[in-house]
């Protein structure tokens, strides 16, 4: 994790695991790691709402951009149970690396999406 976050081994992090529901149905499982030296405070009450609204509005973090890697894989037992699926069912995974405007990585996360509910839209602007 330290390598992905480009920080020293042993750098304190917050770990948050959330199950996202859409119309009361499991949609995705999100595992996130936030650097404690950049995210000063985080608790359960905050994680049950919009974490990013809290980061922007309360902590005044200048969030710059995210690199996302999207791929298919098979579910592990824990995420399958949370999503109401079977171990080794397919899933769409999104690995996020989120940067502040100064280039520091403050969030590394993985979202594991229920294969029956996820759709992707890619908008392309093609100019001649």
pLDDT at 128: 64
Task: Measure the CA–CA gap between 128 and 126, rounded to whole angstroms.
Answer: 7
User: For 1-128, where are the E strands, in sequence order?
Assistant: 13-22, 25-35, 63-74, 90-100, 105-114
Per-residue pLDDT tens for 8-26? Answer: 899 999 999 999 999 999 9
pLDDT digits (tens, 9 = 90+) for 78-128: 999 999 999 999 999 999 999 999 999 999 999 999 999 888 887 887 876
3 state SS of 112: strand
Residue the block writes with tokens 């499991």: 26
User: What tens digit of pLDDT does each residue of 33-47 get?
Assistant: 999 999 989 999 999
């Amino acid at each position: 994790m330290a390598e992905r976050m480009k920080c020293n081994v042993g750098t304190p992090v917050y770990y948050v695991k959330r199950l996202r529901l859409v119309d009361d149905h499991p949609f995705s499982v999100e595992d996130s790691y936030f650097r404690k030296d950049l995210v000063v405070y985080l608790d359960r009450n905050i994680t049950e709402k919009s974490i990013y609204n809290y980061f922007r509005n309360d902590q005044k973090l200048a969030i710059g951009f995210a690199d996302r890697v999207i791929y298919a894989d098979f579910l592990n037992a824990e995420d399958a149970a949370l999503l109401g699926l079977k171990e080794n069912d397919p899933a769409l995974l999104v690995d996020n690396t989120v940067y502040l405007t100064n280039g520091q990585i403050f969030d590394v996360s993985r979202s594991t999406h229920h294969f029956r509910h996820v759709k992707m839209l890619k908008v392309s602007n093609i100019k001649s």
